[in-house]
Amino acid sequence: MTITIHLAACAAVGLSAPILSLASSRPVPGDVALVIAPPWIAREAIVAAAGGHPVGPSSMPLGLLAQSDSPDFADNLRSAGAWFVADGRPVALLCGVST
């Protein structure tokens, strides 16, 4: 029983590391941002209201890659309805998006 709990704890820590590193990174103005928004709001509308434009694939269920030169882009996205905004460069690299 103890070994099962220990293995589960190790797995949880190992799996949470990439998520925590992504969550702690703010987007750089002018670079790609990862925008996570509720499914009942059009992500493109949130990005447009924040003064940006979508880049890359548009088929992500809750997310969108977006870009703007505004230094307040991340804050504007949150004000427009985004749940979460992070540095989108790692996701853009995985998706083959070049900006």
| CB of 31 closer than 8 Å to CB of 13 | no
pLDDT tens for each residue of 43-85: 999 999 999 999 977 667 888 999 999 999 999 999 999 999 9
Q: Which domains are delineated in the chain?
A: 25-95 (3.30.70)
Percent of the chain at pLDDT > 90 equals 47
- Tell me: pLDDT of 90 over 80: yes
| CB of 99 closer than 8 Å to CB of 90 | no
The predicted pLDDT at position 96 comes to: 82
Q: Which of 36, 34, 37, 30 is nearest to 51 (CA)?
A: 30
Cα angle for residues 5, 11, 13 (degrees, 5° grid): 105
| Helices marked H in 24-95 | 43-49, 73-80, 89-95
pTM of the model: 0.73
The predicted pLDDT at position 67 comes to: 94
